[in-house]
Structure 1
Amino acid sequence: MSGWQNEGVGNPTATRPPQPWTAPTASDPVAATLRLPGSKSMTARALVLAALASGPSTLDRPLRARDTELMAGGLRALGSHVSISDDERWLVRPHPPVGPAHVDVGLAGTVMRFLPPVAGLAAGRVTFDGDPHARTRPLGPLIDALRALGVRIDAPPVGSLPLVVLGAGRVAGGEVVIDASASSQLVSGLLLAGPRFDRGVVVRHEGPPVPSAPHVRMTVQMLRAAGAAVDDTTPDVWVVEPGPLTGRGWEIEPDLSGAAPFFAAALVTGGEVTLQGWPRSSLQPVERLRELLHRMGGEVTLGTDGLRVRGTGTVRGLDADLSDVGELTPVLSALTLLADTPSRLTGIGHIRGHETDRVTALAKEFTALGADITETRDGLEIRPRPLRGGTFRTYADHRMAHAAAVAGLAVPGIEVDDVTCTSKTMPEFPALWSGMVTGKN
């Protein structure tokens, strides 16, 4: 490593040819100890806070994947020096945001929602665009909020990509009302840049409940760790005072959502999976995942060797509101298809706006494999029955591939149409998964 370089690892948005992948079937209980890549959510937030800080920062054990490389690339485009050539430690030296610049968001919700507020601080024109489906992801409330805070933005009438932020070198800030019921990232994006606004920011949510609330709590905790003054004592109101952010070292936890399919494998096969490197106190909703897996028949323990899940080989059905952990829906839905009783998953209408409409996609693809699954407005109703092999389409969504992998443990012949979509958050997924199933990890 030679100083602070704008180093990359090639074009993270380069088009990859589709790669079909047959999900391996488990003939024995899995028994694996793994170390997974870092949390996407923590890596993204740490990168933004580092780029807005008053001094250098490091990220230890960050996630190297398409989404986080796009975030690093976007921050470079805005002027910060980001070195990611060392997989174990990334280095960030901040620079006041500058324009003109172009930010490729790919299909990353974090990039398209965290960086427009940063771009408002740039003196110049900053354009945003990404993959075709990115133009369908909800951005309107964020655009309206930024305009109310004094940021000039050109965007389609529907409030989507592509958009242009006409930065003035500063953002007045102040109080803003937003409906963040489509995504918690709409709140987090405003909060992360808030300390750099002239008057800070007061974000008031009005509307149905904000989904994935643990992610907003993560944002608040990481802001405080960087020296920001944040008041979240009033429900649905977040107050961020103006002030400097401190450069620091960030220890990135393993990714909880990425861990979910590996934990599910323990339940499906009656085996045991231990994931190393889990902190005793986590910024991620580990307790919520522990509760859900316990209800489905798993035993979850956190010890000195890591987070361990044991299964009995019997999977119980689940009736649960997943509004706070919608990212877990694809894996949990695959588990419920293999359960001994019917299941009902609710509170997940917001995941229709994720990488794909996950509610419809899960219902459609599993029905094609013989599942008895009904799509509702905000959830899925699943009645277990024997499944068959066949092609499972991912719609370029990494979580869909994870769901297919879990089902494939018990159902031979499930072929994922394109496993390269897992590079979005875990490029190592196919190799790690196959190694776990075959016992070669």
Structure 2
Amino acid sequence: MNTASASGSQHHPPQHNAENWWPAPYTGTGVHATVTVPASKSLTNRYLILAALASSPSTIHNTLISRDTELMLGALEKFGVGIDRTEQPDGSTTVVLTPASELKRAESDGTELTIECGLAGTVMRFVPPLAAVAKARVHFDGDPAARVRPMAPVLNGLQALGARLSYGQTPGMLPFTMDASEVQSTGEVVVDASGSSQFISALLLAGHALPGGLRLRAAPGPVASPDHIAMTVETLRELGVAITVDDDGRGWQIAEAPIAGFTVTVEPDLSNAGPFLAAALATNGSVGIRFWPEKTTQVGGKWVQILSQMGAEVSHGTDGVLTVRGTGKITGINYADASELAPTLAALCALADSPSKLTGIGHLRGHETDRLAALEIELAKIGASVTATDDALEIIPGVRTRADLNSYEDHRMATAGALLGLAIKGIRVENIATTAKTMPQFPELWTQMAKTAKDRG
């Protein structure tokens, strides 16, 4: 068992708090539900950064309100961005962001701004380039678990642009203080993206506002979760940013140019929809997700292909509902580059009738926790045989055993545990509240879905 990331992220021991165990609903029969999941965190935080850099106010409909997005909104306010929220009759939130005439560079007393990152990768990676645009002096810190998440590649990129950095504990990680007062145009910036796609996305999002624009290349070696970089590129183009991608897909060029304020509606979070859709297979039931887009840049769009390969019937109705139906079997899968879908997918693989192998996911060792190590430990508790390598998981289903499953302060580990609980009686999940990172409504929505099986029983 390998419990340390090559990038330096440590695998945190689980917290055992007797009051923190959530009895996962067990159905014993098929659920039959249609669910509305909240908006995409990935898209919300990209739009928020770009709205802060726009030349006029922007309106974001169906903004996700969760811990990660609250942290982003709080960070933008620190730079002087005006934020006005309105709750709509359908329960969604519209946010109007008014850019500052000039992004704030320091506190009124001359001390640096302070940004609280929590455990949000999009805040800790996307906001430093915003600070570079502002030429600000900023101190960044976050949760204890955030202090072992890799940051060095994006910070090295900012140093190449002239930013000066000082570290409180470990070089290349939180906490750190950045002085961007001397950021200027430079030649090509090369970034190691093997640990996270966010290192590339962070710089791309600010590229049009940096002095002289940005010429960026991925360093030789693997690029983690290229789907998320493609999402960033398409989001920029959607808002009028001229971005050129090299033929090999490993280089990007953006000219310095303003972007106008915009109005968008954020798609549902298709990654967060995954556990609900997988529940149809886990219980031999059916689950629909409302407002599923015809086309998407979200990695969660892969659920259609994944669940079809594992034995589900999948249909997308004219009413916009994507419906997944179980067929009485769950077939193991060999799948590459599942990215953030991997914890839920691994849990479903543990319920399958044949082995599975998930590859190209080594970067998950540097997420909220070392997810490969955590999945190896937790899936073994329910009887699966799991081998974690540097960038893969091999999963052989076994006897299904009740267990207490730890979440490691990781929302996707928590939802994976909830999925197992539908099919295995007696599962408890530690700290289900960690799902508030991207989906505060998860426990209620999950319980409501599980109840549909009981209602039919």
TM-score range, shorter chain: over 0.9
Q: Is the 8 A contact 1:227 1:244 kept in 2?
A: no
Q: Is the 8 A contact 1:173 1:197 kept in 2?
A: no
> What's the offset of the Cα at 1:53?
0.2
SS at match of 1:168: coil
**2:330 corresponding residue in structure 1:** 315
**1:6 corresponding residue in structure 2:** none
TM-score, structure 1 normalization: 0.92
**1:145 corresponding residue in structure 2:** 157
**1:298 corresponding residue in structure 2:** 312
**1:90 corresponding residue in structure 2:** 95
Instruction: Tell me whether 1:390 sits opposite 2:403 in the alignment.
Output: yes
**2:124 corresponding residue in structure 1:** 112
SS at match of 1:253: coil
Q: Is the 8 A contact 1:318 1:343 kept in 2?
A: yes
Of 219, 222, 230, 1:217 maps to 230
Taking the TM superposition and a 5 Å limit, the aligned residue runs for 1:214-253 are: 214-234=227-247, 235-253=249-267
Q: For 1:327 and 1:103, how far apart are their aligned partners in 2?
A: 25
SS at match of 2:323: strand
Of 407, 414, 417, 1:401 maps to 414
Per-residue displacement from partner, 1:165-200 (whole Å, max 9, x unpaired)? Answer: 213286435420111110000000000001011111
SS at match of 2:180: strand
Q: For 2:30 and 2:155, how far apart are their aligned partners in 1?
A: 49
> What's the offset of the Cα at 1:313?
2.4
Q: Is the 8 A contact 2:162 2:180 kept in 1?
A: no
**2:219 corresponding residue in structure 1:** 206
> What's the offset of the Cα at 1:426?
0.3
4+ residue runs over 6 A deviation: none
Give the aligned residue type for 1:314.
K
**2:42 corresponding residue in structure 1:** 41
> What's the offset of the Cα at 1:208?
2.2
Q: For 2:186 and 2:394, how far apart are their aligned partners in 1?
A: 44
Q: Is the 8 A contact 2:64 2:93 kept in 1?
A: no
SS at match of 2:83: strand
Could you list the runs of 5+ residues in structure 2 that have no partner in the other structure? 1-16, 107-112
Q: For 2:35 and 2:308, how far apart are their aligned partners in 1?
A: 21
Per-residue displacement from partner, 1:318-360 (whole Å, max 9, x unpaired)? Answer: 1111x2x310111011111110111111111110000000000
SS at match of 2:105: coil
Q: For 1:251 and 1:88, how far apart are their aligned partners in 2?
A: 10
**1:66 corresponding residue in structure 2:** 67
Could you list the runs of 5+ residues in structure 1 that have no partner in the other structure? 1-15
Q: Is the 8 A contact 2:161 2:183 kept in 1?
A: no
Q: Is the 8 A contact 2:409 2:434 kept in 1?
A: yes
Q: Is the 8 A contact 1:274 1:308 kept in 2?
A: yes
Larger deviation, residues 35-44 vs 163-172: 163-172
Q: For 1:359 and 1:84, how far apart are their aligned partners in 2?
A: 38
Q: For 2:94 and 2:372, how far apart are their aligned partners in 1?
A: 37
Give the aligned residue type for 1:99.
R
Give the aligned residue type for 1:141.
P
Of 233, 242, 265, 2:279 maps to 265
Give the aligned residue type for 1:41.
S
> What's the offset of the Cα at 1:404?
0.5
Q: How many pairs were matched up?
A: 424
Q: For 2:184 and 2:123, how far apart are their aligned partners in 1?
A: 19
Per-residue displacement from partner, 1:257-290 (whole Å, max 9, x unpaired)? Answer: 1000001001111111111112222222455321
Q: For 2:123 and 2:114, how far apart are their aligned partners in 1?
A: 12
Q: For 1:211 and 1:193, how far apart are their aligned partners in 2?
A: 20
Larger deviation, residues 364-373 vs 429-438: 364-373
SS at match of 1:365: helix
Give the aligned residue type for 1:427.
P
Q: Is the 8 A contact 2:421 2:427 kept in 1?
A: yes
Q: For 1:233 and 1:278, how far apart are their aligned partners in 2?
A: 31
Q: Is the 8 A contact 2:300 2:341 kept in 1?
A: no
> What's the offset of the Cα at 1:434?
0.7
Q: Is the 8 A contact 1:122 1:170 kept in 2?
A: no
Of 361, 364, 372, 1:351 maps to 364
Distance 1:176 1:57, change over 3 A: same
Larger deviation, residues 331-340 vs 217-226: 217-226
Give the aligned residue type for 1:148.
A
SS at match of 2:404: strand
Distance 1:406 1:199, change over 3 A: same
Q: Is the 8 A contact 1:59 1:250 kept in 2?
A: yes
Instruction: Tell me whether 1:29 sits opposite 2:30 in the alignment.
Output: yes
Q: Is the 8 A contact 2:137 2:179 kept in 1?
A: yes
Give the aligned residue type for 1:121.
V
Q: For 1:179 and 1:169, how far apart are their aligned partners in 2?
A: 23
Give the aligned residue type for 1:122.
A
**2:134 corresponding residue in structure 1:** 122
Per-residue displacement from partner, 1:347-380 (whole Å, max 9, x unpaired)? Answer: 1111000000000001111212322112222111
Q: For 1:46 and 1:186, how far apart are their aligned partners in 2?
A: 17
Q: For 2:217 and 2:233, how far apart are their aligned partners in 1?
A: 15
> What's the offset of the Cα at 1:83?
2.5
SS at match of 2:208: helix
Q: For 1:78 and 1:172, how far apart are their aligned partners in 2?
A: 22
Larger deviation, residues 153-162 vs 250-259: 153-162
Taking the TM superposition and a 5 Å limit, the aligned residue runs for 1:171-190 are: 171-190=184-203
Once superposed, what is the RMSD of the aligned Cα atoms?
Answer: 1.8
Instruction: Tell me whether 1:194 sits opposite 2:189 in the alignment.
Output: no
TM-score, structure 2 normalization: 0.89
> What's the offset of the Cα at 1:18?
6.3
Q: For 1:291 and 1:236, how far apart are their aligned partners in 2?
A: 26
Q: For 1:343 and 1:81, how far apart are their aligned partners in 2?
A: 48
SS at match of 1:254: coil
> What's the offset of the Cα at 1:134?
0.6
SS at match of 1:43: helix
Give the aligned residue type for 1:62.
T
